[in-house]
Amino acid sequence: MPTMQKPIYTGKAKDIFETEDPNILRTYFRDSATAFNAQKKGEIVGKGKINATISTLLFELMEDFGIKTHFVKQISENELLVKRVKIIPLEVIVRNISAGSLCKRLGIEEGKVLKAPIVEFSYKKDELGDPLLTRAYIKNALEIADDETLDKITELTLKINKIFKEFFLNVGIKVVDFKLEYGIDKDGNMLLADELSPDNFRFWDAKTNEKLDKDRFRQDLGKVEDAYIEMLKRVKEGKSKMTNAKTQEKTFSVRVQVLPKADILDPQGQAVEKALASMGYKGVKDLKVGREVVFKVEAESESEAKNKAKEMCERLLANPVIEDYKIEVVG
């Protein structure tokens, strides 16, 4: 930490600081780890910086898919700037495979693929051990959120789940479950907040079912740091796969040939033709000198690329009054 500034809040994993901008907070990710409602405490060496970086990459992923988040930027290995929000005191949990408290509560085995993803809400209140809530508890007893907000949160959470499931499966990871927090910013927007890291997700290797998240700490499975390092690697892999796919899919190489029209006087062409004749090349006729323009263009399809190139020719690349052009999309 660069200054002796006091945090406005010290949580179980992060410290929250104010900045000069009242709407922006600085979050510092610590190495400290807790489990079972802070009954178990410890340290995972290097976790702070790994979680800050994984959170950054995953918040950016969310933004790529149009999900509004509190993320502004990563300013050091352990620190992010985020938009200040009023956190809705709900732990929004989504489950794809049975694990953790669901198994305990229902007496079912870990690893059951659920018929459909489940979204559930717990009360974000450490003193009470984050109890599971019903909608009526939320609406009528706590009055934290109304039906409309809960519907919006549920819909958004399922969308996020879909994105994460696909993203991680692409790098050999099953998303078992995870916890999200939402908050409301100064303009009344609902933003995805807090962090997106192996502290709040259960990640299993798709081939071996090896646990690559905080369960290694909770259950004393060893190689805790390695799991976090591995997850950072997979997230980076996933991101680069995405950018590769994006650029490959969406960029087209275009070749444009511009030539003077057949009935247009082409002094340059005539000069070359004359020069060739004087060099002894007989029978060279109708010589035209043109140019070739090549470029890559982003487009959804080949025909869109062609249309874009046509527009560029009409407006700049050719002079349609005196020149013809031929467009070729080469890949």
Ligand X SMILES: Nc1ncnc2c1ncn2[C@@H]1O[C@H](COP(=O)(O)OP(=O)(O)O)[C@@H](O)[C@H]1O
Q: Where do contacts with ligand X occur on this chain (CB under 6 A)?
A: 9, 11-14, 16, 25, 70, 82-85, 87, 181, 183, 193-194
Specify the 3-state DSSP secondary structure of 253. Answer: strand
C-beta of 27: minimal distance to ligand X in Å? 6
Distance CA 326, CA 298 (A): 19
* Dist CA 37 CA 176 (whole Å): 20
Q: To the nearest whole angstrom, how small is the minimum distance from the Cβ of residue 208 to ligand X?
A: 29
Q: Which is nearer to ligand X, 88 or 212 (CB)?
A: 88
Residue type, 143: E
CB of 41 vs ligand X, minimal distance in Å: 12
Q: Which residue, 69 or 98, is less far from ligand X as judged by CB?
A: 69
Nearest residue to ligand X, using CB?
Answer: 11
Of the pair 181, 230, the CB lying nearest ligand X is at 181
Distance between the two ends of the chain, CA-based, in angstroms?
50
Q: Which tokens belong to 205? A: 């290797």
HSE (side-chain half, CA atoms, 13 Å) at 132 = 9
Q: How far is the CB of 84 from ligand X (least distance, A)?
A: 5
**CB atoms near residue 36 (< 10 Å):** 9
Tell me how many helices (H) and strands (E) the chain has: 8, 17
The nearer residue to ligand X, 49 or 162, going by C-beta atoms, is: 49
Cα 192 to Cα 163: distance, rounded to the nearest angstrom: 14
CB of residue 8 vs ligand X: minimum separation in angstroms? 9
- Which of 107, 188 has the CB closer to ligand X? 188
